[in-house]
Structure 1
Amino acid sequence: MKNEEKAENARARLASLQKSDKSRQIAEAAALEILKLQMTRQKVALERAEKNAGLLLVKAPLGGMVALENIWRGGSMGNAQEGDQLGSGQPLLKIFDPSLMEVRTLIGEPDGVALQEGATATVYLDAYPDAVFKARFHSASPVATAALGSPIRNFGAVFRIEASDSRLLPDLSAAVIVQAGPRQ
């Protein structure tokens, strides 16, 4: 009788294990399906994020180096940061060709006569006092302007630096000494 009891208990345990095994298999299959659905959602989210990141990419139509423009930020000038609001037409950055560096300067009205085609200049950078660069007159504003309330009128002039140098970067302050061009 003891053996029959043991056999009956073993059969009951086997039936219970078979039921729980089927339940466990069903639960594991359901968990696997949930994981597959989560994986599909994550793939869709990844594709959407990659597409959105691609839309944030801005490609310039010209080559060169990028320099951030300074903007007016809460009472001082500085580079734009996340959260800043830029106005319409306000530049965020500029692209420059380091092999074609220019100096933009103001020339006093009496000195405007020196701004002729072929005029050369010597450029000194405040950041590199020992460096001397040769430049050639490129263009000038046709009209002299004056600051509000000032009798001094100036021409905007552009000089192109003739040689390339790794120290030449945008927004460096410079002194320009113009040599008069040939008289015509």
Structure 2
Amino acid sequence: MLGIIAILIAVKLMFFPSPPPPIVVVFEKVQKRNITQLVSGSGEIRPEIEVKLAPEVSGEIISLPVVEGQKVKRGDLLFRINPTRAKEELNQATASLHGMKAQTLQVKARLLQAQDNLRRQQELYEQKLISEIEYISLKTNVEIEDANYQAAIFNEKRQESILRQSEEQLERTSVFSPIDGIVTLVNSKLGERVVGAIQNAGTEILRVADLSQMEVQLDVNENDIVKVSLNDTALIYVDAYPKITFEGIVREIANVAKTKGTGTQEQVTNFLVKIRIRKKDTCELKTGMTSAVDVKTETARNVLSVPIQSVTTRNASSATFTEAADYSKDKVPSTTTTTKKRFNNETIRVVFIKENNIVRQYPVETGISDNGYIEIKKGLDEDMEVVAGSYKAISKELSDSSRVTEQKNDFEKRKRP
């Protein structure tokens, strides 16, 4: 008898295997919400206006009356380069100009003399008292002296230009603050020899910045930059002020990308976005502070939404879907509908809807998303119950008609905001 019972059990297990245990899931209702799409990243706080100052002439620093953190006004002396060489060049240019002016007067005198001689000889020529060859020679001499005079005037003007350049060169030995601000960096010391910016990039001696208006310089990935627009608002979280949220506005978006790791697998393409900070009176933001930024790129109000983790993807060629695939609200099937529809060979987004003790696979059209929820444009109705967890069940285990059991827990409290 025991043998017969064992045989019957084996036959049952072979031809009538027991169904797999139901998958434990968490449900959440489809609801209408306001969703704000965010582009997030980390950035560095910098002043909107920061001036890097390098001398235009090379030489030794003979005066450096400022230190880091010092407030300066527009026109205050920041540093002075030894002017000895510039003064010598100015004296030489002045002397050369005086010589040119004397030479011009001499040439002018010769021209006037040649013109006067030509007038007197012209009367004799008209009376046939001198030959035509002599007259032409006198006329040619006037033209030569006139050309010499014009050349002397040109040389004089050129020397005046050289003199002005020498005067400017002497003025450039003293550098004054171009703005009201604070000295944020001093790279050089008194007595150090520096290279002028006229010759090449020059030696950066110090920086002056206006710290009354700060910004965040944010690197945004090429996939997200198309979502960001001028005047988008942003929330800024500064590490130094963990309990304070700053507000900002996008004021500048780069048109040229910055690429790191070109030609490697780690290549990253970013665009620089500058966000003006609306400073709070109680906070003092400093250059170089790090921050996290959420740029609000778009807002959809009162739209159907589900948790982000509820939406997954499936290959349509290997799965069947409910009639809701038509994305028509009035065609969404009731819980008794069992109609199936096969799609083309493509990957589409789906959610799993509660239907008694099983779930149905619904294709959906999604919109924007925030940190916790994603907009559903087509495919679902309000108050439907979608599977909201676990991630493993949604992404791998569930399929159309899968048996499920609901887990009762504090999922609502643990959801991302």
What's the TM-score, normalizing by structure 1?
0.55
Partner of 1:99: 212
1:109-148 → structure 2 map (5 Å cutoff):
109-148=222-261
Q: Is the 8 A contact 1:116 1:181 kept in 2?
A: no
1:59 corresponds to 2:170: no
Q: Is the 8 A contact 1:146 1:153 kept in 2?
A: yes
Report SS of the residue matched to 1:97: strand
Moved over 4 A (4+): 52-55, 83-87
User: Once the two structures are aligned, what percentage of the paired residues are identical?
Assistant: 29
Partner of 1:80: 187
Q: Distance in 1 between matches of 2:237 and 2:246?
A: 7
Q: Which runs of 5+ in 1 are unaligned?
A: 1-51, 69-78
Report SS of the residue matched to 1:113: helix
Report SS of the residue matched to 1:153: strand
Q: Is the 8 A contact 1:100 1:164 kept in 2?
A: no
Cα-to-partner distance string for 1:119-169 (whole Å, 9 max, x where unaligned): 111111122222221010011211223202333211011111022544211
Q: Distance in 2 between matches of 1:147 and 1:105?
A: 15
How far does residue 91 in structure 1 lie from its aligned partner after superposition?
Answer: 3.6
Letter paired with 1:64: G
Q: Is the 8 A contact 2:234 2:248 kept in 1?
A: yes
Aligned residue pairs total: 122
Report SS of the residue matched to 2:212: coil
Distance 1:137 1:58, change over 3 A: same
Q: Which runs of 5+ in 2 are unaligned?
A: 1-61, 64-76, 81-173, 196-200, 301-417
Partner of 1:162: 278
Q: Is the 8 A contact 2:187 2:204 kept in 1?
A: no
The two structures, once aligned, show a CA RMSD in angstroms of: 3.0
Cα-to-partner distance string for 1:66-104 (whole Å, 9 max, x where unaligned): 211xxxxxxxxxx73538787734544332222211111
Report SS of the residue matched to 1:157: strand
Point out which structure has higher relative CO (alpha carbons under 8 A, 6+ apart). 2
Q: Is the 8 A contact 1:114 1:178 kept in 2?
A: no
Q: Distance in 2 between matches of 1:108 and 1:158?
A: 14
Q: Distance in 2 between matches of 1:85 and 1:136?
A: 43
How far does residue 110 in structure 1 lie from its aligned partner after superposition?
Answer: 1.4
Q: Is the 8 A contact 1:119 1:182 kept in 2?
A: no
Larger radius of gyration: 2
Q: Is the 8 A contact 2:246 2:280 kept in 1?
A: no
Report SS of the residue matched to 2:273: strand
Q: Distance in 2 between matches of 1:174 and 1:84?
A: 37
Q: Is the 8 A contact 1:122 1:133 kept in 2?
A: yes
Q: Which has a greater percent of strand?
A: 2
Letter paired with 1:62: I
